[in-house]
């Protein structure tokens, strides 16, 4: 199994192979390393090739006939929800799923469980509501995590802020690498 983690240094995705070897999609030999690991020719790309598509089993038929049944497929164009500049998102840059939905899918499956990785979500949210409650989230805004809220100046009330405002007490030159300490 390959595991991928995002990087923020511009070198592409970091891919850890089962052997412990690590390759970045931006490495010149990434295609060769991945091809050897997967046993077929592959090449990392930052945008889908022109006309790239995949066959997707019709979900309703799978639910009705079972996961091993021969069912109809639909062709889906890769990157339909990609932001300007490209990307490999199916329908949107983020995919959220609730644990109540995963629990319901698992209860209906022969194995009695559903792994979140099968759906490739960006966030799995612990939900106590009904299964498929995500349907009610469409068109609404959601805040994830806590925001740093402080009163930046007296009388302004709490605001979402990052950093701190300051004023100069003694003018001078600051050089890169200079030590900084709170007094």
| Local confidence pLDDT in tens for the 183 residues of the chain | 555 554 545 667 788 888 888 888 889 999 999 999 989 999 888 777 788 888 888 877 776 777 788 888 988 887 776 666 666 666 677 788 999 999 998 888 877 888 887 777 888 888 998 999 999 888 888 777 777 778 877 887 877 666 666 777 888 888 888 777 777
What was the pLDDT predicted at 106? 87
Q: Whole-angstrom Cα distance, residue 165 to residue 174?
A: 17
At 34 the pLDDT is 92
At 5 the pLDDT is 54
- With 0-12 / 13-18 / 19 or more C-beta atoms within 10 angstroms meaning exposed / middle / buried, residue 89 is middle
Q: What confidence score (pLDDT) does residue 140 get?
A: 84
Q: Which two tokens stand for residue 17?
A: 């192979």
End-to-end CA gap in the chain:
51
pLDDT recorded at residue 110: 77
Query: What's the token pair of residue 153?
Result: 């100046």
pLDDT value for 121: 84
Q: What is the DSSP letter of 83?
A: P
Q: Report pLDDT for 4.
A: 53
Nearest Cα residue to 103 out of 127, 86, 138: 127
pTM over 0.75: no
């Amino acid at each position: 199994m390959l595991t991928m983690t995002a990087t923020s240094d511009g070198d592409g995705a970091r891919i850890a192979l089962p052997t412990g070897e690590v390759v970045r999609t931006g490495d010149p030999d990434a295609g060769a390393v991945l091809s050897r690991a997967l046993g077929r020719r592959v090449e990392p790309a930052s945008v889908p090739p022109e006309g790239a598509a995949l066959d997707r089993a019709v979900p309703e038929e799978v639910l009705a006939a079972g996961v091993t049944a021969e069912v109809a497929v639909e062709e889906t164009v890769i990157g339909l929800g990609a932001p300007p500049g490209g990307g490999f998102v199916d329908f949107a840059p983020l995919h959220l799923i609730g644990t109540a939905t995963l629990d319901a899918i698992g209860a209906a499956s022969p194995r009695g469980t559903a792994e979140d990785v099968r759906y490739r979500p960006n966030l799995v949210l612990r939900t106590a509501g009904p299964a498929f409650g995500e349907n009610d989230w469409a068109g609404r805004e959601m805040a994830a995590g806590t925001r740093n809220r402080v009163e930046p100046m007296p009388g302004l009330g709490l605001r979402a802020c990052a950093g701190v405002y300051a004023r100069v007490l003694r003018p001078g030159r600051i050089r890169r690498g200079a030590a900084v300490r709170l007094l």
